[in-house]
Structure 1
């Protein structure tokens, strides 16, 4: 985070977030500001969001101290006050700046920045004030929520029922400062696939009078975004939900809260095609119906042009489908360039004639990335938004020329996804280490303008959502913490510092186990019309996995007993439900598979395992009923649906689980080819090497080794980069050497991840893992959390040395896998 010049010379506590800062404390110190008894002052001439944040601060401090402070837009009535406002919009603050009583330096004109300072005798009758001043409307609001967070109020106080700890007194040390600008200019979330959680909950529980996701629900979303220092929303867009802009109240409310509105990769110009385009999918064709589509876009641009928006450019199909019209890839490229020009003409007419000053984005998602790679010319001031592959691995990042563009680059990332090869909509299990690694690569390669994360229904993706947005606010602080440190801090903020290490250990094991196979991916099939098969694991291999889950739930139960009563709702939502539900989901599948494999030879044991599978299935149902009907007094009724929640989109959703019947005598599923058992696995992280770094929290052994820094150029086989040397002792015979890699993508947009591999003193060979979204290797990679890559090398028994060296930066090595091969060793 950049330190602005106005902070030079001041005695500061330069701390990145209130979670770490400890700048609001329980004990008084010389010249400290006492929050107790202070009223909150803001100005009627300020932006509406400042008043909304001030109201939340009153409620937050009441929750912490037990007594709500007075909130006023008039003259102070007491001796101390918390004064909040935007520079240039609050007379009291502006007077302090003008008189030199409040030093703000170049805060004016900065993006989303703020100062928090203690000022003595700021006005007649006021002995002391805590002044929160923002460079703009969101900067002021962020400053207010920063104080709440420092006082112990979680951003998830409403959305996950995290109750703040009561504190008798709160003091702010003199000259404490909090500031920006953020690492990433536009940061936000995409509510997507809301059919199974957010929409039914909003329609039936939270806002039944409206009967849908509407202003009441969106106001809670806007508040959450500001608490997380986000500023952008792509709203819910499935057919089940009324389009965001069909109710003008939504856009007006977003403006009151200072939220920048955008729309998804498939929804140009703020239109929600699924609910708003009425002429049929084939008519949504710019090649044959230019005027009709242009008028459709014009209507929204004209209506919403006065608000703060990011305009999505380009065109895809009505929903998440390819563009209709244009023909082959060359025709699509030419048509898109025409579309860009026409869309920018609408912006010039209805937003600003200085089109280059209006935020615009083009997302090269799915097939659109191929069109972009074919030479598509995107206007220089438009932000290029790079997608992941829907499973957390970014497909491409800007090269040196793209980093020069005035519009910059961004990332569209997924924590939830409905699509092939199998969806992940139920439990959010993307490892924090993967988010930090991939978004860190994006930052290093210049993707710093817009970060959007698909959060599905918001719950239960709280941890991963906060991580993504905290990183967008201060990327270097989060990277310095690492996944383990970050999760510890999250646990401390929610449940107290005394339990943070134990809770972080539970969550680390949870993410490790589910990275190997997500709870939604426990059927081994992919592709349209494919028949589910059992796993390739033997009973013994599956039981070893279940034993790890059992050890995890035992730790979870121990911690559950230590959680105070007022935090048990939050505990269930953030930790207990996801960990227990994932464990039960694994038990029901693998105990049922044990029945299949044992029923012929050991029928009594098979029936015992069938009973365990049925019990696990019942536990998933009971946990989910508790979430929906009991937690927080029924507040979340309808929010949680177990995948698959229904029979829609069956080609990329697992089949409903069917447990063996009590009297079953036959297997249920066709078995998959068995997994190798006679293998030697050498974990990559067991050695160190210059030019390689250990990354904890990923891989099947708990860590991987990553080659080089992403800013380093590729190397040749003649001059490979630094290597890792592995000494292995093999039994007699011949052994093939394979590598397990993380299923990342090459940074340069090429098609392979490349390493140089050699055995003993032989010359190195190039090993290239091809990367093509949609093929079998990609599907297996995202479902398994690894790419299995053959090197073509055969090693003889005895003491051997294997060297793995860098050709391309960023390749993540998980393990060396050695398998016996027939034919002896020559």
Structure 2
């Protein structure tokens, strides 16, 4: 069908008598603007059938649009596939629907939202991204707008999750600064853009900004304009977990004098005033679609003050009062929700001393909103028959958080793989009524917001049954934004940049990376991470250079800034660590790294300045204003850029030799390189630097012909790196030797040893001990053995290093290892004695009151050792709980078991016992492991590609 030809656009017909007319009129207006963006022509929106031309777009809900109902009655439109369903639509091309009309593009919804989803589906078909406003994604220009007929015969499904939405939180300094500058306030002009975004993404639910904003008072044309517009658009409104009965959290202190003399937000001591305050909220908002929050927390998102027993009884009193108010205004059957968040979780489940709210029948008609731990890990989930409760379950999830142990409010730090694993678990446990995600300032969470809402809308396409499709999703999303201006190779590269930067931030959030987070001296860790950051920044820049000037603003927002800025913070911190390390060694190389720190700091400021003031003509002024480096408190107070160290050169030249893997440098004497093995084919590094005020020449000579030096001589001003490797063609057995380095300030002798291991008789996929360690990525199992219908599956690209494995289906636990599915690994150890096995597990919480995160590990059919990665006092989400704080900052649980082994080949079995356990890595060690953030790199295994 042709929508626009030679500047003439097909008209859009709406029925003015339909109850949803006002909302459809708004959406049709934005749809017309979409067509204008593509073609330069703007369709006319008409309300009388006699205005129809030869072609037209007809949009409306079944039973509410006279034209559509006439087509149904005449047998020209079959809506049986969507009738009596929720939020569904059909799109049909109808030939000669009435006299004088050759073709009609009919968008018929089962209800208002279904109709709107259908309209915005056409927007996507013509190339308009849902992020057309919020990321300035421009569509391809087309003077002729024709949609192939085969795309105009579609039927949507019912959404998988009933209420699907976002929460605008932590709205200062970034979102608040931008909104007040662009719109004057959090008013209807702003929220119209948010409503449209949610509907374009097929969501239907919103918690509005709340720290200083008051949704039902901030309207520009009328105080209630925000709420009225939400109703017209078909957006179901809610309030956050601590804002009951339609009232914003910030309202109370401004208006309490209307209800009494006390400003205490304490129901036990100020009952009458608070009840009257709530009643006015009901009167004000009762005519609008809401998911009504019940319960009460302390003021400003704090806990109630009493004992557990007192608080549970107080909550019962509060909820009875709230329900009585709802009955008074005929809202007793309106959808209601109770957020089981932070300390309220304890009041829901109860304690050994007092029964919780879980068994209280007054809440049988209330949806229970569970929560993650604020860092993307579910806290508790319903089990067994609980999953079938009639009012259902919801999940409050986080992409952004303002709280302990540290806030994270800057860039996207949530890899799609983590969202997939956790929210699939939520769905599989029956949490299917409400999905709401804290998106902070909204930007720059664009990719994660799209994914979260798509997963909620079509779980069948993207959920548990579609494992390892996150890379496909990312590429599809990239194509949606840039497919018309980038070739397939570039799109694949851009998608990889998006994946890489979110994984980097998921490994350790930028706010809490420190100069020594990544080891500067063990496993070459910091330099490996530094190289990843450099490559990420280069890739982001490479693809930016391929983007046309007209689309660079969108690319900067969605790809370049988050990737480059994330990489820059990593570089900044590692450079700071290296400057301190070399300053301690007296090397002027510290000064070079100090300069790089300062460059990275200026780069950070410059990237932010471009975002805030340059792109899109300054449209996003203030949006990227959050502090994001060097947090020392739970919030940004006291943040600082890292401190670089310098050293003052001594008079004359002075040679300093630093050997990779050692804690200090050497000015004279001897040093040792780590032992080489023919399996790992390592390269080690020797850094020669200058502690004096002049440069010098050096010469490095090996005592053995099998040692290769990539630069045996040179000139040193600040630093020179010599890569040392072994020529394995010249050595067929273990050997040792020495490298003599001569320069100003003396001579340093560096010992070098090589260990030859014959693996010709070793079975395939056997990991070999080198340097007293065997490090295994979890996916590289010899076998994955299913038990009781439960199997281990690989989740690609999930975790801090390679991938993860998890037991599916979700929700099955085992008391004893013999009944549990297990992973088998073959290992070759080089000596007899005691070994430590460290398991690296995703930071899953105990998902029930009685579970932990238990597994078992054993060798050679021996009795396995049962371990729990969670200590007995572990409490997910409690920022006073040290174990949980460490887990979410490091994004890992580690647990160590001990095993006695004899020299030779052994079979390691790892059994999963508790549901939710996700294994990422195993490290078997004969000696204590030195500090590193990520652990040793994976060991050589037989059959490994060269």
Quickly say closer, same or farther: Cα 1:611–1:477, change in 2 above 3 A.
same
Question: Larger Rg: 1 or 2?
Answer: 2
Q: Tell me which residue corresponds to 1:60.
A: 34
**Separation in 1, partners of 2:207, 2:901:** 53
Q: Tell me which residue corresponds to 1:329.
A: 308
Quickly say closer, same or farther: Cα 1:412–1:654, change in 2 above 3 A.
farther
Q: CA deviation at 1:67?
A: 2.2
Quickly say closer, same or farther: Cα 1:790–1:63, change in 2 above 3 A.
same
**Separation in 2, partners of 1:545, 1:130:** 53
Q: Structure 2 residue aligned with 1:148, among 118, 123, 144?
A: 123
Q: Tell me which residue corresponds to 2:253.
A: 277
**Separation in 1, partners of 2:343, 2:928:** 43
**Separation in 2, partners of 1:61, 1:348:** 46
* 1:130 lines up with 2:131 in the alignment: no
Q: Structure 1 residue aligned with 2:204, among 223, 226, 231?
A: 231
Equivalenced residue count is 765
Q: Tell me which residue corresponds to 2:875.
A: 772
* 1:595 lines up with 2:579 in the alignment: yes
Q: Tell me which residue corresponds to 1:535.
A: 517
Q: Tell me which residue corresponds to 1:27.
A: none
Quickly say closer, same or farther: Cα 1:98–1:741, change in 2 above 3 A.
same
* 1:51 lines up with 2:38 in the alignment: no
Quickly say closer, same or farther: Cα 1:646–1:684, change in 2 above 3 A.
closer
**Separation in 1, partners of 2:848, 2:191:** 39
**Separation in 2, partners of 1:569, 1:489:** 20
Q: Tell me which residue corresponds to 1:758.
A: 858
* 1:743 lines up with 2:843 in the alignment: yes
Between the two structures, name the one with larger relative contact order (CA 8 Å, sep ≥ 6).
1
Q: Tell me which residue corresponds to 2:56.
A: 81
Q: Structure 2 residue aligned with 1:295, among 256, 262, 276?
A: 276
Q: CA deviation at 1:699?
A: 1.5
- Aligned partners of 1:422 and 1:653 also within 8 Å: no
In terms of mean alpha carbon deviation, does 157-166 or 726-735 score higher?
Answer: 726-735
Q: Tell me which residue corresponds to 1:520.
A: 511
Quickly say closer, same or farther: Cα 1:222–1:337, change in 2 above 3 A.
same
**Separation in 1, partners of 2:364, 2:180:** 42
Q: CA deviation at 1:107?
A: 3.0
Describe the superposition over 1:374-410 as per-residue Cα deviations: whole angstroms up to 9, x where unpaired. Answer: 0212611111111000111111111122222111001
* 1:443 lines up with 2:427 in the alignment: yes
Q: Tell me which residue corresponds to 2:906.
A: 800
Q: CA deviation at 1:799?
A: 2.2
- Unpaired runs of 5+ residues, structure 1, are 1-31, 524-532, 666-672
Describe the superposition over 1:612-660 as per-residue Cα deviations: whole angstroms up to 9, x where unpaired. Answer: 0110111111000000000101000010024249999755767211442
Q: CA deviation at 1:469?
A: 0.6
Describe the superposition over 1:62-89 as per-residue Cα deviations: whole angstroms up to 9, x where unpaired. Answer: 2123322232222334200111112222
SS in structure 1 at match of 2:853? strand
Describe the superposition over 1:767-804 as per-residue Cα deviations: whole angstroms up to 9, x where unpaired. Answer: 21214223222112111111011224354543222101
Q: Tell me which residue corresponds to 1:29.
A: none
- Aligned partners of 1:744 and 1:811 also within 8 Å: yes
Q: CA deviation at 1:809?
A: 2.8
**Separation in 2, partners of 1:749, 1:263:** 28
- Aligned partners of 1:274 and 1:318 also within 8 Å: no
Quickly say closer, same or farther: Cα 1:456–1:370, change in 2 above 3 A.
same
Question: Normalising by the residue count of structure 1, what TM-score does the alignment of the two structures yield?
Answer: 0.88
**Separation in 1, partners of 2:112, 2:405:** 43
SS in structure 1 at match of 2:160? coil
- Aligned partners of 1:644 and 1:653 also within 8 Å: no
In terms of mean alpha carbon deviation, does 625-634 or 538-547 score higher?
Answer: 538-547
- Aligned partners of 2:835 and 2:898 also within 8 Å: no
- Aligned partners of 1:143 and 1:178 also within 8 Å: no
- Aligned partners of 1:624 and 1:642 also within 8 Å: no
Quickly say closer, same or farther: Cα 1:678–1:626, change in 2 above 3 A.
farther
Quickly say closer, same or farther: Cα 1:702–1:170, change in 2 above 3 A.
farther
- Aligned partners of 1:412 and 1:452 also within 8 Å: yes
* 1:613 lines up with 2:713 in the alignment: no
- Aligned partners of 1:49 and 1:138 also within 8 Å: no
* 1:683 lines up with 2:780 in the alignment: no
Q: Tell me which residue corresponds to 1:102.
A: 77
Quickly say closer, same or farther: Cα 1:569–1:433, change in 2 above 3 A.
same
In terms of mean alpha carbon deviation, does 336-345 or 188-197 score higher?
Answer: 336-345
Q: CA deviation at 1:346?
A: 1.3
Describe the superposition over 1:221-279 as per-residue Cα deviations: whole angstroms up to 9, x where unpaired. Answer: 1111111111111111113x355435322111211221111000011112112333345
- Aligned partners of 1:243 and 1:275 also within 8 Å: no
- Unpaired runs of 5+ residues, structure 2, are 351-355, 650-661, 664-673, 675-770, 930-946
Q: Identify, as 1 or 2, the structure richer in strand.
A: 2
**Separation in 2, partners of 1:545, 1:425:** 23
* 1:379 lines up with 2:370 in the alignment: no
- Aligned partners of 2:572 and 2:597 also within 8 Å: yes
**Separation in 2, partners of 1:165, 1:183:** 32
Q: Tell me which residue corresponds to 1:20.
A: none
Quickly say closer, same or farther: Cα 1:79–1:58, change in 2 above 3 A.
same
SS in structure 1 at match of 2:479? helix
In terms of mean alpha carbon deviation, does 374-383 or 403-412 score higher?
Answer: 374-383
Q: Tell me which residue corresponds to 1:486.
A: 473
- Aligned partners of 2:262 and 2:270 also within 8 Å: no
